[in-house]
Amino acid sequence: MQTKEKIYFKTFGCRTNIYDTELLKGYVKDYELTNDEGEADIVVVNSCTVTNGADSGVRAYIKALQGKKIILTGCAAASKGKDLLDKGAIFGVLGAGNKAQINALLRQGRKFYEVKPIDFIDTDIVKRFENHTKAFVKIQEGCDYACSYCIIPSVRGKSRSISEETLIKQVQILANNGYTEFVLTGTNIGSYGRKDGTSLGRLLQRLGAVNGVKRIRLGSLEPAQIDESFKEILDEPWIERHLHIALQHTSEPMLRLMRRRSHTKDDLALFELLRGKGYALGTDFIVAHPGESVEIWEEALENFKKFALTHLHGFVFSPRNGTHSATLLAQSQQISGLLAKERLQTLKNIVAQNNLEFRREMLRAKTPLNVLVESFKDGFYEGYDEFYNKIKIKSAQDLSKKWLKIDKYEVQERCNFAQSSPC
């Protein structure tokens, strides 16, 4: 009997890509899946293109692969795939809307470029996740925003949502398969259902009622997407007590340059409401965007301190070809890399201190932490509590994939620490 070729999946970027990789694996029928990159004959690279750094990471990974058929999919398939294929760097390009074709295209045995128009919606569902204790559920695709710095709408298309019934069915199947924590993901999940007469808040109300659902985590949200239907679920026991809400900046003039829909005053009022309910709060922040003068930076920094952020995804502005921000950069003086890094580090230091104080506050209030153990590393079990803070647990018992309610723990600089047994 002929030995099947082995196929390895490499995933870059966001949670949506994690979901898409699992969906792709389900379409592979005539090849053997492997977790060992070295023994693979075929490598499928599920790419990210949100920044120049992301592009560079994908290119470097592809360049390092020797003697393998490389298939490029994900966001870079549309923006970089044709160029890499023409240069002979890869064997095939698979668009995000062509996932179901992967097996047939590989069986043809010849190079291919298959990228459908970006108006697709996945109709198949993922029932299991390899090497993950929690389940990822993609609820929508695409983005209707037109932020000046962002290339993603051009590679993911306009926002479109998966039906509530399909998502409820998927979560029910996953719950029956033993998953209890669910992460809702998508390109812009806060836009869920807006074109279909529903909303993310209403979807959450229904998902939270599914038997077996213990906790639901959310991907990034926009401030304006926290509507009344969402506020109604804030006190539900199954919703995580951490929200990631993308501010991108805290200077009003800069938000206008970025073509953002939010306003600093409104954003601050929202964060104060959520903080008052005990939520840990994270955000995205871009430093050194064109136009970030000393005056704008100082205003942004003063405002930033008011938000009491506990988590941060901060990065230095990265111009993407074809975006309005790239045009602005060509018309203005670029901020030096050293200054940009200093500004970013200032924000990171503020958030790190906020996070430490938040965890100390939880300890003083004797707040128990609800943790799903996800991994075992260097002698410690690790997981994240409902506030999305890491905790390391020392235990002689096997705690793998167990839920723990931990009320005795130490707050350390980078994470919490406990010695515990299952409750």
pLDDT tens, position by position, 315-336: 999 988 889 998 998 888 889 9
- What is the model's pLDDT at position 422? 42
What's the pLDDT tens digit per position in 252-281? 999 999 999 999 999 999 999 999 999 999
Residue 124 pLDDT grade (very low, low, confident, very high; cuts 50, 70, 90): confident
Compare 15 and 117 and report the one with higher pLDDT: 15
Helical axes 75-86 vs 52-64, angle rounded to 10°: 50
Which tops the pLDDT comparison, 15 or 374?
374
Q: Is the pLDDT of residue 423 over 50?
A: no
Is 300 in a helix, a strand, or coil?
helix
3-state secondary structure of 283: strand
Q: Give the number of other Cβ atoms within 10 Å of residue 198's Cβ.
A: 16
Nearest to 230 by CA among 260, 258, 251, 204: 204
What is the DSSP code string of 207-269? Answer: HTTSTT--EEEE--B-GGG--HHHHTTTT-TTB-SEEEB--B-S-HHHHHHTT-S--HHHHHH
Share of the chain above pLDDT 90, in %: 80
- Please determine, for residue 374, whether its predicted confidence score (pLDDT) is greater than 70: yes
Using the predicted structure, report yes or no on whether residue 183 has a pLDDT greater than 50.
yes
